[in-house]
Each structure stands twice: as C-alpha cells, then as structure tokens.
C-alpha cells in the first residue's frame, strides 16, 4: 500500500472530506494523531456498550489499529 492509498483509506475511515495540503510525512503524522484519538474513543465506548455494540466497536478498533500500524511503517520509511 502506497502513501497516497493509505491517506485515502484513512480519510474514508475518519470521514475527512477536506484535502490535506502539506508534505507527506506531516499529513501522515496528522492522520496518525486522529487515528489514535479515535482508538481511545473506541476504548471508552467499549466500556459502556451493549453486546451488539461491542462487536461493531471491536471491528472498528481492528480497522483503526491496522491503519495505525501501516501509518507508522510509512512514517518511518526512508523514502517518505
């Protein structure tokens, strides 16, 4: 997955419609920050949710965690 594909997929997950007009590393850093905030929000929601909601939240948590992992790899990549 390339940097542009990663940014596009994260924008879809977070519901960001505004274009990121900065360098690649800076935009990845901003997206990672938003993903980490979303992950914390999901953890808080998991504590006080019903069984049905927990299944959906766990699925979303897996997706967000995967995007964080990919973002960290791209951020630390030498060519970015």
pTM of the model: 0.68
pLDDT tens column, 56-70: 999 999 999 999 999
Structure tokens at 55: 């299944």
Beta carbons of 28 and 3 less than 8 angstroms apart: yes
Domain boundaries, the chain: 3-16+25-76
The percentage of the chain sitting over the pLDDT mark of 70, rounded to a whole number, equals 85
CA atoms within 13 A on the CB side of 49: 15
pLDDT tens column, 37-60: 999 999 999 998 888 889 999 999
Question: Residue 18's pLDDT band (boundaries 50, 70, 90)?
Answer: low
Which residue in 2, 9, 7 sits closest to 27, CA to CA? 7
């Amino acid at each position: 997955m390339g940097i542009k594909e990663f940014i596009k997929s994260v924008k879809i997950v977070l519901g960001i419609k505004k274009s990121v007009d900065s360098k690649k590393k800076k935009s990845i850093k901003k997206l990672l920050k938003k993903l980490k905030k979303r992950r914390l929000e999901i953890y808080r929601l998991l504590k006080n949710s019903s069984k049905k909601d927990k299944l959906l939240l766990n699925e979303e948590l897996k997706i967000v965690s995967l995007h964080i992992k990919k973002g960290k790899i791209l951020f630390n990549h030498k060519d970015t």
